[in-house]
Amino acid sequence: MTHHRFSQIDVFASGSFTGNPLAVVHDADDVSAQVMQMVTRWTNLSEAAFLLAPSVPTADYRVRIFEPKTELPFAGHPTLGACAAWLAAGGIPKRDGVIVQECGAGLITIRRSASGHLAFAAPPMVRHEPVDPPDLGRALGLLSIDPADVVDSSWIDNGPGWMGLLLRSAQHVLDLPTPTGSAKHFDVGVVGLHPAAHDTALEVRAFFNDSNGSIREDPVTGSLNASIGQWLLQNGVITAPYIASQTTGTVAVEESAGEIWVGGAVDVRVTGTIEI
């Protein structure tokens, strides 16, 4: 057994304890992938992040990101949460103004936004194509979505495997019932536009299957909001900058020099040690 610094971070919060919680284990170079997966399941959170020494000279730190069923090459709220935990533990970036994270998807650049929040540069999607009718029908059935309410659908996968569904309005997204079914490999993001006078532009909900196959809802999802931004900005559905609502949190999306930046409030809520 070894003791490791441990943090729990509230990411994309719109107030105290309103964001997506993330467990972070520091100095985890001596922790095996099998144990990382075990710790992630034990936390009962959507994801956990493990900080390690970088393997490339331009990176400030390396992170391995796990959800209860598998390791992910990239995820958004773990990226910002891991960065916040690394900074709070005394991490000093090699370059002024930016932090460079090494992960399974490569090098991710993180910076402070104009509001002072952390924001990451969205990585390119690894799959972006229309959804086949059988996959679309399965998703609509499990989420109780009327096909007539779907404006567009696309694979918008930047690591976790997201399918994107654009509904006719934000209210259609909010009115979706809590899923009661089960599935394997289910990662679906649903989005709708608010009226122009609303204080946020989009309403987003994210659904995934846990290690038992039950479909759960993720509180606020950085990777999904990143690929939604890339998808809808490319199609001219929305313009940046904008704010997206997701459950009780909010995500800020900006566009600069051809890059999409995804950010929000990140608060360190718990610090201590964990025995592994």
pLDDT in tens, 86-96: 999 999 999 99
Number of domains, the chain: 2
Predicted model pTM: 0.93
Work out the angle at residue 45's Cα, subtended by the Cα atoms of residues 206 and 72, and round it to the nearest 5 degrees.
70
The answer, yes or no, to whether residue 1 has pLDDT greater than 90, is: no
CA distance 109 to 78: 14
The answer, yes or no, to whether residue 247 has pLDDT greater than 90, is: yes
Examine the domain organization and report whether 231 and 161 are in the same domain: yes
Examine the domain organization and report whether 142 and 75 are in the same domain: no
Examine the domain organization and report whether 12 and 120 are in the same domain: yes
* Residue 47 is among the residues annotated as catalytic for this protein: yes
Mean pLDDT, the chain, whole residue set: 96
Q: Which of 47, 67, 102, 203 is catalytic?
A: 47
Q: Which domain range does residue 197 map to? A: 127-260
Examine the domain organization and report whether 82 and 138 are in the same domain: no
Closest C-alpha to 219, from 47, 1, 53: 47
pLDDT of residue 212: 87
pLDDT class of 259 with cuts at 50, 70, 90: very high
Q: What is the CATH number of the domain that holds 179?
A: 3.10.310.10
* 61-65, 197-201, 208-212: range with lowest mean pLDDT: 208-212
pLDDT class of 72 with cuts at 50, 70, 90: very high
Examine the domain organization and report whether 266 and 253 are in the same domain: no
Examine the domain organization and report whether 9 and 111 are in the same domain: yes
Examine the domain organization and report whether 91 and 20 are in the same domain: yes
CA distance 121 to 118: 10
pLDDT of residue 229: 98
pLDDT class of 211 with cuts at 50, 70, 90: confident
SS3 36: helix
The mean pLDDT value for 61-85 works out to 96
CA distance 228 to 241: 13
Examine the domain organization and report whether 234 and 189 are in the same domain: yes
Examine the domain organization and report whether 27 and 104 are in the same domain: yes
pLDDT class of 69 with cuts at 50, 70, 90: confident
pLDDT class of 276 with cuts at 50, 70, 90: very high
Furthest-apart CA atoms within the chain: distance in Å: 55
The answer, yes or no, to whether residue 220 has pLDDT greater than 80, is: yes
Examine the domain organization and report whether 108 and 142 are in the same domain: no
pLDDT of residue 179: 93
The answer, yes or no, to whether residue 135 has pLDDT greater than 80, is: yes
pLDDT class of 49 with cuts at 50, 70, 90: very high
Examine the domain organization and report whether 114 and 154 are in the same domain: no
The mean pLDDT value for 156-162 works out to 94
The answer, yes or no, to whether residue 115 has pLDDT greater than 80, is: no
Closest C-alpha to 226, from 50, 75, 110, 113: 75
Examine the domain organization and report whether 120 and 150 are in the same domain: no
CA distance 262 to 258: 13
